[in-house]
Amino acid sequence: MCGFVCLWKVEDAGGSLIETMLSRLGHRGPDATQVARPAGVPLAMGHCRLAIIGAEDGIQPIAVDSEILVANGEIYNHGDLRAILDPDIFQTTSDSETILHLFRSGAQRWINRLDGMFAFVLATPDRIVAARDPLGIKPLYMARRGEGLAFASELKAFDGLGFDDITALPPGGLFDSSNGSRQWYRVPSGAAAAEPGLDIEAVAGELRLTLEEAVAKWMVADVEVGSFLSGGLDSSVIAAIAQKVRLAAGQTPLKTFAVGTAGSSDLQAARRVADHIGSDHHEYSFSARDIAENLSHVIYHLESADADLVRSAVPTLFAARLARGHVKAVLTGEGADELFAGYAYHHAYAEDPRALADELTRSLGAMHNINLQRVDRMTMAESLEARTPFLDQELIAFAQSIPAALKLRCTDPNALESTGPTTEKWLLRKACADLLPADLVWRKKAQFDEGSGTVDALQQALRLIIGGEGKITRLREEALYREILRERFEDPEMILSQAGQWNANRVAA
């Protein structure tokens, strides 16, 4: 996991511009920093590296002949691609080098062969190409300066430096200076009602196999990979499968990490899951004062003042800080709610599976500047790589083929396999029921900021910052977040204009 900056046909006498931009991304990659200015190419590329794969020889930018690359993320099928492309042409053991050789192969749809989470910029003497993974797990922004182009991993790299038309490259998007932009990936449309005679047990079994393959794939690394563990279904399932993967490989138990206020339900549930799966568990209890002291740090790195996003970013930061003391990479449960109908508002769709399927498809496409932005920025703020196996391409394709009526299901509230009159993520729970105690599998969902105790602690923290007594209204809370953001950035309106909102464009509330 890394951060990078690229300047194409942008004047940078003395190199101060790219050095300034790259210095703002140092938290993304503390292991190595490198700047390249190839002779005869109107280009400067800078990269700060968090070494996960190819730790010894994977320093970037990577150059082959007159072509050069910077990349952020992980290519999980890099071993297969090496074998196909010819292992002898590779200079490093870095997974990122496969991007460069795929491009050089000349295949028309070369980017579709990449399996993973990534953002990259690739340059030749007369052309520059930039692209992003299917869901936008990894960030990539593009801007203009005069006749030139600039690319960076975070918005703060551009702040106050005279760039125009700053925008995020869309998920599954590719920009090519020679022929413009194209959308190389689109989220497959979700299925709605179950066809007559559908074998639900078989579908659940296949889902389980697909999920297990995704977790194993997303654990590939040259460093130890741990797991966030909130005690909720998503992170618990991921942790349970990951523990099996490690033990089957003869490795030490999985390291799991949980945070919350003292006595919070998330901490208690996480302990039970950790005991059940036998993980090496670590936890941290944060206070209102901890939140108050870190709120400015959260908002600066989050690059958003959206209240819902900030609330969920607070515990994510503490979890990342805890985990970084033990590992360099963690698994997270992001994507399960969007794939399997896990949010409270989804219950309004119980009688309309077609509308639910459409909403799940839409929300998957909108994750990049909401929850995925939160996870990326908060973990990278602590130099930690976050991995999201629920967003594996094969798992997405299979999950979208599952009827929405099996994801959010009308159920008997008194039945074992239910969380109420309508049960969210019903098929996912059924597919993974043997991994965890029944009362945890069918536990009613709580949002991370609620289950962790963040909501109440945040109210206390806001009173510490603002002063006074009584409840801080949402309007005042949002105003404070914007005030903090404006204090931290020279061009705050640029940052605010790019920020997503959790409820943006929702089909129904």
pLDDT in tens, 169-217: 999 999 999 999 999 999 999 999 888 899 999 999 999 999 999 999 9
Confidence of residue 247 (pLDDT cuts 50, 70, 90): very high
The answer, yes or no, to whether residue 267 has pLDDT greater than 50, is yes
- What does the pLDDT read at residue 451? 60
- What does the pLDDT read at residue 417? 87
User: Alpha-carbon Rg of the chain, whole angstroms?
Assistant: 22
The answer, yes or no, to whether residue 116 has pLDDT greater than 90, is yes
Within 407-462, strands assigned E span: 409-410, 422-423
- Residue 220, number of CB atoms within 10 A of its CB: 18
Q: Give the span between the Cα atoms of 296 and 150, in whole angstroms.
A: 27
DSSP lists the bridge partners of residue 143 as: 150
Q: Give the span between the Cα atoms of 385 and 466, in whole angstroms.
A: 34
Residue among 2, 6, 48, 432 flagged as catalytic: 2
Confidence of residue 450 (pLDDT cuts 50, 70, 90): low
- Catalytic residue status for 2: yes
What's the token pair of residue 132?
Answer: 């992003």
Q: What is the mean pLDDT of residues 283-288?
A: 96
List the domains of the chain with CATH numbers. 2-183 (3.60.20.10), 200-437 (3.40.50.620)
Q: Give the span between the Cα atoms of 27 and 222, in whole angstroms.
A: 20
Q: Give the span between the Cα atoms of 507 and 403, in whole angstroms.
A: 18
Q: What is the mean pLDDT of residues 10-22?
A: 92
Residue pLDDT, tens place only, 123-178: 999 999 999 999 999 999 999 999 999 999 999 999 999 999 999 999 999 999 99
What's the token pair of residue 116?
Answer: 């993973």
355: burial class by Cβ within 10 Å (0-12, 13-18, 19+)? Answer: middle
The answer, yes or no, to whether residue 469 has pLDDT greater than 50, is yes
The answer, yes or no, to whether residue 373 has pLDDT greater than 80, is yes
The amino acid at 502: W
- What does the pLDDT read at residue 416? 85
Q: Give the span between the Cα atoms of 203 and 243, in whole angstroms.
A: 24
Within 76-172, strands assigned E span: 116-124, 127-132, 141-145, 148-152, 164-168
Residue pLDDT, tens place only, 396-438: 999 999 999 999 999 988 888 888 999 999 999 999 999 999 9
Look at residues 322, 337, 330 and name the one whose alpha carbon lies nearest to residue 267: 322
Mean pLDDT, the chain, whole residue set: 93
Report the share of the chain in percent with pLDDT over 70.
Answer: 96
Residue pLDDT, tens place only, 333-346: 999 999 999 999 99
* Contact status, residue 433 vs residue 210, Cβ threshold 8 Å: no
Residue pLDDT, tens place only, 293-312: 999 999 999 999 999 999 99
Q: Could you give the residue ranges of the DSSP H alpha helices within 304-343?
A: 307-324, 336-340
Q: Is 259 known as a binding-site position? A: yes
- Rounded alpha-carbon distances, angstroms, from residue 366 to 347, 359, 369, 373, 466: 19, 10, 7, 10, 33
The answer, yes or no, to whether residue 509 has pLDDT greater than 50, is no
